[in-house]
Chain A
Amino acid sequence: MAEVAHAEHYTSTGIDHRKVLMWLFLGSECLFFGSLIATYQVYRGQSLVGPHPHEIFNIAYTSISAFVLLMSSLTMALAVNSIRLGNLPATRVWLLLTALQGSIFVGGQVFEFTTFVAHGLSLQVNLFGTTFFVLTGFHGAHVTVGIIMLFSLLFASVLGRLGPAQALTVEIVGLYWHFVDIVWIVIFTVVYLLPY
């Protein structure tokens, strides 16, 4: 049995272990964000004092930062495509652009949080503040982890340790990145767009 002598390459499904792991992990993450969103929904409109959402949300501003985040999924997909084709310079450009767009989103979130705090919304002031900051904050933390992973890939490419053989690694980071984007579509809709 020549093919089973190299057991580390054999998989029952033909899919790499790491890719299966990432999909399962993202399934677990759905429950994590699901529980945070459920908490937000349970306390929707239950705050006893202001500030209330309609008083401080700037939908246009948040829509732009959401658009930037969604566009980063496009550049992420282009990065995966480039590394598969073995085009390392293009891969670096797309990875960098993806990381920059993610950073713009997180920077936008920091600015938004600062503005809200200036308008009197804090973690402690009411249920809206408590649930809003914790939900969007954990999403922002996930984006930040994604940015760190993208810069780690760029760092590896500078060290010469990123090539077509590592295309799967880039793809798996991409899976995480797209997931974080999709979660934002849900959070943005539930928190900002649904009428209170």
Chain B
Amino acid sequence: MATVGRAVGVFPRPGFFEYLWSWLTTVDHKRIGILYGLTTTAYLLVGGLEALLIRIQLAHPESRFLDPDTYNQIFTMHGLTMIFLVAMGYNATFFNLVVPLQLGARDVAFPRLNAFSYWGFLFGSLLLNLGWLWGQAPGVGWFAYANLTSVQYTPGLGTDFYVMGLQVLGISSIASALNFLVTIINLRAPGMTMFKLPVFSWMTLVVSVLIITAFPPFTVGLIEVMFDRLFGTNFFNPAAGGNPVLWQHLFWVFGHPEVYILVLPAMGIVSEVLPVFARKPLFGYPFVVFSGIFIGFLGWGVWAHHMFAVGLGPVANSVFAITTMLIAVPTGVKVFNWLGTLWGGHIQLKTPLYFAALGFIAPFIIGGVTGVMHPVVPSDYQQTDTYFVVAHFHYVVMPIVAAFFAGFYYWLPKYTGRLLDEGLGKVHFWLFFIGTNLTFGSQIIVGFLGMPRRNYTYPAGLGWEPWNLLSTIGAFLIGLSVVVFVVNVLKSLRSGQVAGPDPWDGRTLEWLTSSPPPVYNFAEIPVVRHRDELWARKYGAHGERVGAHNPPNPGSELQIHLPRPSYYPLVAALGIAIGFLGAVLIRPAEVGGLGPLGWAVVVLGALITVGGLYGWAFEPAE
């Protein structure tokens, strides 16, 4: 059944519930991308609020604003929220908003699986945060080292919410990564060979491979923690011979590829934005692509650099030191290719370029340089567990956030049909840029002065006070910049300049269709002959102006088969989340669980899941 566009005449103004239902059952990658974007932005505000609470606490020595236990929960949830919900959430947002359009496809390969991934993300993120209602959010750090996670040391429900929330998020991430892998492998427009694939789609491919390979070891680690906590097994119980270092291996063999899962899409965004605003092709496309692949590959061989202080011995430490230093090579190659792209270009100083060039590349180099200092093992022994490490990885992740902002200023007009305001955009950029450097530049120095991380307060008189105060002021500037961004988006929705199909004179296929794109994306699937296909269509492969857009042709609508809406993905995802909630509630009543009654919730969740999956499997897809 093909329902294209809105039914005319019967319900010209659909009611609220009909509208809501259309979002709950949507399988359209564009709508799912918007849902991801809204959910993730909500978590950006939550995670940012947590960061501000941390900075208020640390602004002055001997502060009593937060008690130690609350501080542990807030810094843990800040990390979990920013990594799993914000960075991975925005990644999924851009995968959905950009990749099918860049490929010249009508949707992803599995539209219902895509909806399932979103609902799994939403319910998993709620489960991860549900501990706040018990006053027991996870408080063991995002790395949750064994055997702090044993019932002996963390008897409360916080660690259970950590385990179960991340399991649901992991299922959602793997489902989404599998979907985008098949989409990129199988749904490229005719003629789009792998080396005509836009770089953002390439990085999506690499990241998806990392997700489907890095999450399973983490899943197994979480299963082992769960069994230790619920069934009294001995995986991380030293009294029975268990080795807590095993958890560190399972965690970091996931955790380090996870860093590249976060950064590679940002590099993809930058590689899309720079050529458009330099009005030049990307310099050294094959080098950028192969460097991304090489980073993804090497990302598997560096995990123990998180464990130098554990005592693995000089051989292991040396091997991981060398592989870690090696990663600087492809990263440096990328940076020089971006510089080469800008060099000699007709540079258009628009907000996306501010965020991509100044917001990403420049601070990311600081993050990279501080990163290369860590694999020098003796030096790492001094830096480990200080604010120097905190400053280093925030100089890696804040540029990622800047790249997301670049992506929003660049691609949001494709979906809203309206440009964001350039003036507010530059205010947003400078607040963000100055705030970031103030916050984390101060932390580089206070780290060198020896201030330990993760402690809820610090004594006066060690020379740490001015840097901490500066850091807090910077954090509030970042917070203010995000408010400016939200205002800018709202203003653009109300009264932004109309974008048109191709506001930036773009190079890739997403600018070929209208803004916002029709539900079927392209009336006719484009045939690709060039790496910068749209640019070649507009200006010819050698610079002569040849043609124009092909606007969507409403006459051919009826021939297009679209997947029909389905609520089964939502049901299946809800069932999985209820099942994992039940697994939290199995914990005894003294700590806030339901005891054996929790099993009833597990069974209920399993039944809902099975019902959802069978409905899904036997429902006609179109």
A contact residues vs B (CB 8 Å cutoff):
1, 4-8, 10-13, 15, 17, 20-21, 24-25, 27-29, 31-32, 34-36, 39, 42-43, 46-48, 123-124, 126-127, 130-131, 134, 138, 152, 156, 161
Contact = CB atoms under 8 A, between A and B. Distances in A.
B105 interface: yes
A39 B185 contact: no
A175 to B, nearest CB: 14
Interface string B490-528: 000000000000000000000000000000000011010
A35 B246 CA distance: 11
B233 interface: yes
A152 B213 CA distance: 29
A23 B242 CA distance: 35
A20 B234 contact: no
Contacts of A138: 223
Contacts of B234: 124, 126-127, 130
Contacts of A29: 216
In the A-B complex, list the 10 residue pairs whose CB atoms are closest, starting with the nearest: A35-B220, A31-B216, A32-B216, A28-B212, A130-B233, A35-B217, A11-B186, A17-B109, A4-B525, A12-B188
B617 interface: yes
Given A42-B246, A47-B241, A126-B240, 19 more contacts: A10-B190, A12-B185, A13-B185, A20-B181, A21-B182, A28-B178, A28-B215, A28-B216, A31-B212, A31-B216, A35-B216, A35-B217, A36-B220, A39-B220, A39-B235, A39-B246, A126-B234, A130-B242, A161-B618
A71 B220 CA distance: 29
A20 B525 CA distance: 22
Contacts of B190: 4, 10
B232 A124 contact: yes
A1 to B, nearest CB: 7
A124 B227 CA distance: 10
Contacts of A8: 561, 622
Nearest to B213: A31
B233 A12 contact: no
Contact of A7 (B182, B224, B250, B560): B560
Interface in B210-252: 212-217, 219-221, 223-224, 227, 231-235, 240-243, 246, 250
B392 interface: no
Interface residues of B, number: 49
Contacts of B560: 5, 7
Q: Label chain B's interface by main secondary structure.
A: helix
18 contacts: A1-B527, A7-B105, A7-B560, A8-B561, A10-B525, A12-B187, A20-B185, A21-B110, A21-B178, A21-B179, A24-B181, A28-B174, A48-B241, A123-B231, A123-B233, A124-B233, A134-B224, A152-B617
B559 interface: yes
B213 A127 contact: no
B587 interface: no
A3 B524 CA distance: 11
A123 B242 contact: no
Contacts of B556: 5
B384 to A, nearest CB: 24
Nearest to A11: B186
A48 B217 CA distance: 26
A24 B220 contact: no
A129 B163 CA distance: 22
Interface in B547-597: 556, 559-561
Contacts of B242: 43, 127, 130
B243 A42 contact: yes
Contacts of A46: 241
B235 A35 contact: no
Contacts of A7: 105-106, 525, 560-561
Contacts of A47: 240-241
Contacts of A39: 220, 224, 235, 246, 250
A9 B517 CA distance: 22
Contacts of A36: 220
A17 B110 contact: yes
A8 B108 CA distance: 10
Nearest to B221: A35
Contacts of A10: 187, 190, 525
